[in-house]
Amino acid sequence: MEQIKELESARLHLRPWRDTDLAEFAAMCADPQVMRYFPAPLSRLESAALIGRVRGHFAEYGYGVWALERKDTGAFIGFTGLMNVSFEAPFTPAVEIAWRLAPEHWGLGYASEAAWAVLRCAFDRLALDQVVSFTSELNLPSQKVMQAIGMQHDVDGDFEHPLLPAGDPLRPHVLYRITRAQWLETLYG
Ligand SMILES: CC(C)(COP(=O)(O)OP(=O)(O)OC[C@H]1O[C@@H](n2cnc3c(N)ncnc32)[C@H](O)[C@@H]1OP(=O)(O)O)[C@@H](O)C(=O)NCCC(=O)NCCS
């Protein structure tokens, strides 16, 4: 199995996680603004455990969510990458594209830029047929990234997140998809 250690875009390195990322990663995941569309901010221990699970995903499947580093400053700014969906739903098994950035790096196009590099990897190197993405229907910034990279809203695929309790306002989720053919169409018309 090919281990995809790093990717690159114009302004970013998508690289393996370092132990020294924990401080900034934990600060990002403890920020209520960043975690507004998740059940709760994460403690430092939960963030450390998440990095452990990410490393485990890379070890098992060869891909995962990469740490994002700005080329101009060398700063760690968050993550973007691919994960096997960990719960059962009508659209699973599936590979999900996901992103989370620290707020001081929002509004600069970094999430979309990283996501383009990740989609290229998914279709060119990993030869996946399809990638999905989902988020709370309230999370419009994330849906904008999905739209920016050519993903299509699968209205019939919208679902109630099975790991959130009934009645939770975050439970209704939108489902977006992109196939390899749609990605090629977006790139080359
Ligand atoms: C979702 C999230 C990654 C989006 O970040 P973002 O910075 O808004 O997304 P993008 O990288 O696509 O940037 C787009 C914005 O940058 C602007 N921009 C500036 N320079 C740009 C450039 N060179 N290229 C593209 N966009 C640029 C765009 O105009 C756009 O701004 P707008 O939203 O005001 O229209 C961010 O809000 C986040 O981390 N949220 C918390 C975690 C989360 O909810 N993750 C998703 C869970 S499913």
Question: Mind listing the pLDDT tens digit for each residue in 23-70?
Answer: 999 999 999 999 999 999 999 999 999 999 999 999 999 999 999 999
| The residue to which tokens 């169409």 are assigned | 185
Ligand 1 atom at shortest distance from the alpha carbon of 101: 39
**CATH (residue range 7-188):** 3.40.630.30
Q: How far is the CA of 1 from the centre of ligand 1 (A)?
A: 32
The first and second tokens of residue 158, run together, are: 């919208």
| Rounded percentage of the chain residues whose pLDDT exceeds 70 | 100
CA distance to 10, 63, 73, 160, per residue, from 2 (Å): 24, 9, 30, 34
Long-range contacts of 74-77 (CB under 8 A, 24+ apart): 75/105, 76/21, 76/24, 76/25, 77/12, 77/101, 77/102, 77/105, 77/110
Beta bridge pairs of residue 134: 175
Q: How far is the CA of 28 from the centre of ligand 1 (A)?
A: 15
Task: Name the pLDDT band for 15 (thresholds 50, 70, 90).
Answer: very high
Residue type, 5: K
Residue type, 33: Q
Residues within 6 Å of ligand 1 by CB: 34, 37, 99-101, 106-112, 135, 139, 141-142, 144-145, 148
Residue ID of nearest Cα to ligand 1 atom 24: 109
Ligand 1 atom at shortest distance from the alpha carbon of 102: 39
C-alpha Rg value of the chain to the nearest Å: 16
Question: Is-cis flag, bond preceding 93, omega within 30?
Answer: yes
Contact criterion met (CB below 8 Å) for 131 and 95: yes
Q: What is the pLDDT of residues 162-174, one digit of tens each?
A: 999 999 999 999 9
